[in-house]
A and B are shown apart, each in its own frame.
Chain A
Amino acid sequence: MEFSLTSDQEMIIKTARDFAQKKLKPVAAHCDETGNINKGNLKELGRLGFFSMVVPEEEGGAGMDYVTYAHCMIEFSKACASTAVILSVHNSLCLDIMRHFANDTHKKKYLDDMLTGKKIAAFSLTEPNAGSDATEISLNAKLDGDHYILNGTKCFVTNGDLADIYFVFGTVNKELGSKGTVCFLVEKGTPGFSIGKHEKKMGLKASPTTELIFENAKVPVANLIGEEGRGIKIALSILEGGRIGIAAQAIGIAEAAYEAAKSYSKERVQFKKPLCANQAIAFKLADMLTRIEAAKYLTYRAAWVKDQGKKPTLEASMAKLFASETAQFVTYEAVQIHGGYGYIVEYPVERYFRDARVTTIYEGTSEIQRIVISNNLLKN
């Protein structure tokens, strides 16, 4: 694996850092408090190319590699984890489906607007009774002439009402198990399709998470992605990219928490000396930084394997597991180092602590990552 960066990579990452620090960071606390994302910033991210990061230039994207992608996601997450998850779902889940499974007609019709961020995409697999076990999805799709009629409810959809394009997973016949599953591209405004409840969450409050409701929703047959029976296969095949994105998100949050804790520990004086002059606090900082660095290299490695055109199943799961658990540890200790002030909303570590929590849950819980890793290592 290559450790040094090219000047392309360096400059792109610097642009991400500048944008994150100048535009995302100053409004992140406000976005969290009001539960609204800053749409002007999303638009600008689109102009800069961050809504098409890993799509090759020949296909109209920014043509970035996954290593650069991971670095940029860390920078965005450090400033605003809500913005980062919006980008992660759009880039590493939805655009991956578009590139690998959509046909030319789909691409012609939708891809350009997705690449500029004019149309944001959402990925909807989870249902009330199908979380870790996605094969249990039951959103029903019934063929009727040149349309499928969709009935059911999806939940926990990132980019819920923000999106214009939804990749929705369902089944034509639940008895067939995964062989009956399907994936559709559903446009906002499709008759019978509506946005349900907006979830009130612990963290990532500026990133909308909603239900999607399908009541005899009419989706054209042309909007079937892949064939009938391939739904779950499509969902599973794009997981690695998503996990690299979430690992990077977790690292960014952790890094922000670590930096806040470090500077606080140098300023806050108790017993006539700064907090960091106590070895108990200094050692916490040492552990925090060491784990963050370890998480980074697992994540860059997964990204690098993907850039080599290989499938980083094991690497991405290990990166996601370790980075998200690191984010728990680091944000917990960052609050601890802040004492009572860490529990007060005025101090950003309070938000980092809440934002970090979901990273061990979505895109495969830590338990699911351990299943993937152990299945893999016991395979032969």
Chain B
Amino acid sequence: MKICVIVKRVPDTEANIKIRTDKPDRIDESEISFIINPYDEFAVEEALKIADEKDGETTVITVGSKESEAVLRHALAMGIENAVHVTDNEESDPFRTAFLLGKVINDKGFDLILCGKAAIDDDTAGVGSMLAENLGLAQVLVVTKVEIAGDGKKVVCHRDIEGGTMVVEAPLPAVISCQKGLNEPRLPTIIDIKRANKKALETFDSKSYLEGFSGPRVKIGKFTSPPPRPVGKVLKGDSGTAAKELAKLLREEAKVI
């Protein structure tokens, strides 16, 4: 069984995001650190688990700048066998990324393609679906359980829905996007980190795959920072009075009840 995982380099969840003063459609990357998209880490872990059970071969792919190599190394350290880097310095755009991935993946014969449910930076949640469309494959999105069934011919996934679980079957190959709760990603051991950093990567320039690309469908206009969070309110008095006041504020001010 050949399994592919798609990963993206994103700003650390702890990072204090600032917008560039010269270009309001870009964030200032100078002082922040980057990580593998946390949802992609669930995808990597799931790939490793499935490969372990089904004796599969795993490959990780990213589209992005030179620096994106770090997230491939992270996936390799976790245990993925092969890594492919499509170097691309354009502004991240899901349509472009899915196009490039479609071209790279097209003839590789993967049985299963896993990705995160969304990248935590732009949160477009677009690449997985678009890639499935580009490749003409089934897609099951935002899943919390993955099971390979029918002699490796199909996949059974769980999706959390309001008040219950939806069980979805799809024929393989398919694209699956991973949600929190699917698994607990392993930390790489020190030895595995060192091995991963010595491994050779397959690197392609995005230029060689852009033939037929019609250009991005959307363009980021600009970013604006959220308004500063107002200071919280502390209600005084005994619990009876405070509870009454709280109910009043929730109804009249916050308008949530």
Contacts and interface: CB of A to CB of B under 8 A. Distances in A.
Interface stretch (A24-32, A42-50, A177-185): A42-50
Contacts of A48: 187-190
A2 interface: no
A63 B187 contact: no
A7 B189 contact: no
Interface string A1-30: 000000110011001001100000000000
Contact of B197 (A11, A19, A49, A64): A11
B119 interface: no
A8 B74 CA distance: 10
A62 B187 contact: no
A8 B194 contact: yes
Contacts of A53: 190
B73 interface: yes
A27 to B, nearest CB: 16
A57 interface: yes
B70 A15 contact: no
A12 B187 contact: no
> Among the interface residues B70, B190, B196, B231, which one has the most CB atoms of the partner chain A within 10 A?
B190
A12 B193 contact: yes
Contacts of B196: 11
Nearest to A50: B190
Interface string A338-377: 0000000000000000000000000000000000000000
A15 B196 CA distance: 14
A49 B73 contact: no
Given A7-B70, A7-B73, A15 B193 contact: yes
A8 B193 contact: yes
How many residues of A sit at the interface, in one of the four size bands?
Answer: 10 to 19
B83 to A, nearest CB: 14
A274 to B, nearest CB: 10
A57 B197 contact: no
B183 to A, nearest CB: 15
A57 B191 contact: yes
Chain B interface, DSSP helix/strand/loop, else mixed: helix
Interface string B165-196: 00000000000000000000001111101101
Interface in A256-313: 269
> Among the interface residues B73, B187, B188, which one has the most CB atoms of the partner chain A within 10 A?
B187
A64 B62 CA distance: 29
Interface string B110-133: 000000000000000000000000
Given A7-B70, A7-B73, A15 B190 contact: yes
B189 A11 contact: no
B187 A11 contact: no
B197 A8 contact: yes
Nearest to A18: B187
Contacts of A18: 187
B43 interface: no
A162 B29 CA distance: 45
Contacts of A11: 70, 73-74, 77, 188, 193, 196-197
Contacts of B189: 47-49, 62
Nearest to A21: B14
A63 B188 contact: no
Contacts of B191: 49, 57, 62-63
A8 B187 CA distance: 14
Nearest to A7: B197
A270 to B, nearest CB: 14
Contacts of A12: 190, 193
A64 B193 CA distance: 11
Nearest to A9: B193
B187 to A, nearest CB: 5
Nearest to B194: A8
A19 B184 CA distance: 13
Contact of A15 (B73, B188, B197): B188
A251 B188 CA distance: 25
A39 B70 CA distance: 32
Contacts of B70: 7, 11
A63 B189 CA distance: 12
Contacts of B193: 8, 11-12, 15
Interface in A199-231: none
Interface string A38-78: 00000010011110010001000011100000000000000
> Among the interface residues A11, A47, A62, which one has the most CB atoms of the partner chain B within 10 A?
A11
B142 to A, nearest CB: 23
A15 B187 contact: yes
A64 B190 CA distance: 8
B220 to A, nearest CB: 29
Interface in B186-240: 187-191, 193-194, 196-197, 231
Contacts of A50: 190
A49 B191 CA distance: 7
A138 B37 CA distance: 58
Nearest to A267: B231
Contact of B194 (A19, A63, A269): A63
Given A7-B197, A8-B197, A11-B197, A62 B73 contact: no
6 contacts: A11-B70, A11-B188, A53-B190, A57-B191, A57-B194, A62-B190
**6 shortest interchain CB distances as A-B pairs:** A49-B190, A62-B190, A11-B193, A48-B189, A49-B189, A15-B187
Given A62-B189, A63-B190, 20 more contacts: A8-B193, A11-B73, A11-B77, A11-B188, A11-B193, A15-B187, A15-B188, A18-B187, A19-B187, A44-B187, A47-B189, A48-B187, A49-B191, A50-B190, A53-B190, A57-B191, A57-B194, A62-B191, A63-B191, A64-B190
